[in-house]
């Protein structure tokens, strides 16, 4: 249960962390947020936050696009997040939600000359997509928002209306998730996760110029695949019909972790179920995020003193 939040410069009881209906971010979506996970390792009696600094570096970069002037840097945000988690005393897996936002209580759409604030709260969290043995995925009838409209490179709050349209359309049609295409018809990503496929033993993922979020899990997967599995990832445009010919595919992201895709537009992939490369990537990923792999322990920030 959430009991605390960092809000307007201090840690307060969660009930006191409230924004006005007049706040700029509430009306115009002028905020950037993050989604970070912390994993409880029972053997180590430790809560590890995965790639904490990298998440805050991305938040700070997104805030720059929204012309924010934040009083905290990524290191300070990381420190106070660890402090918040310590005070919450969680001994379970946790999701961390920071938000940098335009706080003024005014009418007027713009980005400049506004007051920028930062807040963060945390909540115990399980799976984001329930179906872990092969999600049923469709191609969305919606298109991904373009970099020249609302940049997907930053986690801009208002841009997630696009993600919500994609996710709801998929679920109301009986699917677990959707893959969304760019306006030019090439694959971008999932509603709130990056996409990989396996063809001919190679990992393939859309490039950072495909209107994707530059995912931290995506980068983690590419590194682990290269270092630990000897698999290079090809970053290139992907056509829609290539998806139907993939041997395996999976989504990745902080929330979805590694979620295998079982079918796309009702066409089963490979042998159906979880493919062998996806399984190896997933096993490796879970070992690393839980702090069980010494070599990658530097990615796991311990919450409690050792
Ligand atoms: N794409 C989108 C649109 C997302 O919202 C997310 C979740 N943050 C991702 C990809 C995955 O990014 P990450 O691995 O950094 O969580």
pLDDT at 273: 80
66 pocket-lining for ligand 1 (C-beta < 6 Å): no
Supply the residues annotated as catalytic: 155
pTM summary value: 0.97
In order along its 306 residues, the chain shows pLDDT tens digits of 999 999 999 999 999 999 999 999 999 999 999 999 999 999 999 999 999 999 999 999 999 999 999 999 999 999 999 999 999 999 999 999 999 999 999 999 999 999 999 999 999 998 777 777 899 999 999 999 999 999 999 999 999 999 999 999 999 999 999 999 999 999 999 999 999 999 999 999 999 999 999 999 999 999 999 999 999 999 999 999 999 999 999 999 999 999 999 999 999 998 778 999 999 999 999 999 999 999 999 999 999 987
From 176, 155, 196, 211, select the one nearest 31 (Cα to Cα): 155
Angstrom CA distances, 133 to 4, 129, 211, 285, stand at 35, 10, 28, 16
Out of 3.60.20.10, 3.20.10.10, 3.20.20.70, 3.30.70.1520, the CATH code matching 135-289 is 3.20.10.10
Question: Cβ atoms within 10 A of the Cβ of 21, count?
Answer: 7
CA of 253 to the centre of ligand 1 (A): 5
Q: Decide if 168 contacts 143 (C-beta within 8 A).
A: no
Distance 137 CA to ligand 1 centre (A): 17
Using the CB atoms, write b or e for 154-168: b if 16+ within 10 Å.
bbbbbbbebbebbbe
Q: Is the CB of 151 under 6 A from ligand 1?
A: no
Q: What are the structure tokens assigned to 146, written together? A: 């373009």
State the residue for tokens 């979020």. Answer: 213
Best residue for ligand 1 mutational test, from 145, 213, 220, 256 (most atoms within 8 Å of Cβ)? 213
The sign of the CA dihedral 143, 145, 147, 151 is negative
Which ligand 1 atom sits closest to the C-alpha of 212?
1
Long-range contacts of 78-83 (CB under 8 A, 24+ apart): 78/52, 78/53, 78/301, 80/6, 80/11, 80/120, 81/6, 81/36, 81/49, 81/52, 81/56, 81/120, 81/122, 82/49, 82/52, 82/301, 82/303, 83/11
Q: Is 254 in the pocket of ligand 1 (CB under 6 A)?
A: yes
Of all residues in the chain, what percent are helix, strand and coil, respectively (each to 5)? 30, 30, 40
* 61, 146, 192, 299, best to mutate for ligand 1 pocket (most atoms within 8 Å of CB): 192
Q: Which of 34, 35, 42, 36 is nearest to 291 (CA)?
A: 42
Q: Are 26 and 20 within 8 A, CB to CB?
A: yes
**104 CB neighbour count, 10 Å cutoff:** 18
Ligand 1: centre distance to CA 145 (Å):
14
Ligand 1 pocket test: pick from 215, 250, 255, 288 the residue with the most ligand atoms within 8 Å of its Cβ: 215
Six token digits for residue 258: 């590694």
Distant-in-sequence, close-in-space partners of 234: CB < 8 Å, separation ≥ 6: 202, 203, 204, 205
What integer pLDDT is reported at residue 242 of this predicted model? 97
- Secondary-structure class of domain 4-124 per CATH: alpha beta
Nearest 5°: the CA angle 171, 173, 179 is: 65
H/E stretch holding 114 reads: none
Token pair recorded at residue 254: 């902080």
| 263 within ligand 1 shell (Cβ under 6 A) | no
Write phi, then psi, for 64 (nearest 5 degrees).
-65, -40
Paired tokens of 251: 């989504």
Domain ranges of the chain: 4-124, 135-289
């Amino acid at each position: 249960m959430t009991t605390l939040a960092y809000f307007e410069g201090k840690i307060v009881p969660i009930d006191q962390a409230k924004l006005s209906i007049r706040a700029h971010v509430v009306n115009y979506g002028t905020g950037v947020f993050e989604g970070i996970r912390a994993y409880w390792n029972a053997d180590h009696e430790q809560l590890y936050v995965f790639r904490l600094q990298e998440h805050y570096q991305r938040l700070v970069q997104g805030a720059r696009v929204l012309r924010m002037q934040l009083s905290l840097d990524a290191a300070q945000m990381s420190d106070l997040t660890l402090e918040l988690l310590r005070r919450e005393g969680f001994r379970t897996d946790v999701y961390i939600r920071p938000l940098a936002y335009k706080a003024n209580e005014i009418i007027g759409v713009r980005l400049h000359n506004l007051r920028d604030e930062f807040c963060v709260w945390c909540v115990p969290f399980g799976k984001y997509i329930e179906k872990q043995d092969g999600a049923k995925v469709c191609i969305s009838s919606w298109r991904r928002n373009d970099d020249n409209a609302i940049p997907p490179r930053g986690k801009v709050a208002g841009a997630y209306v696009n993600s919500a349209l994609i996710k709801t359309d998929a679920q109301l049609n009986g699917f677990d998730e959707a893959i969304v295409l760019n306006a030019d018809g090439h694959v971008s990503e999932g509603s709130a996760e990056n996409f990989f496929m396996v063809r001919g033993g190679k990992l393939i993922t859309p490039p950072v110029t495909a209107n994707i979020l530059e995912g931290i899990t995506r980068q983690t997967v590419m590194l682990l695949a290269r270092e630990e599995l000897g698999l290079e990832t090809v970053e290139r445009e992907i056509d829609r019909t290539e998806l139907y010919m993939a041997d395996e595919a999976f989504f990745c992201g902080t929330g979805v972790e590694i979620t295998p895709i079982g079918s796309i537009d009702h066409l089963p992939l490979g042998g159906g179920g979880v493919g062998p490369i996806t399984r190896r990537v997933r096993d490796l990923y879970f070992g690393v995020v839980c702090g069980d792999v010494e070599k990658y322990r530097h990615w796991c920030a311990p919450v409690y003193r050792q």
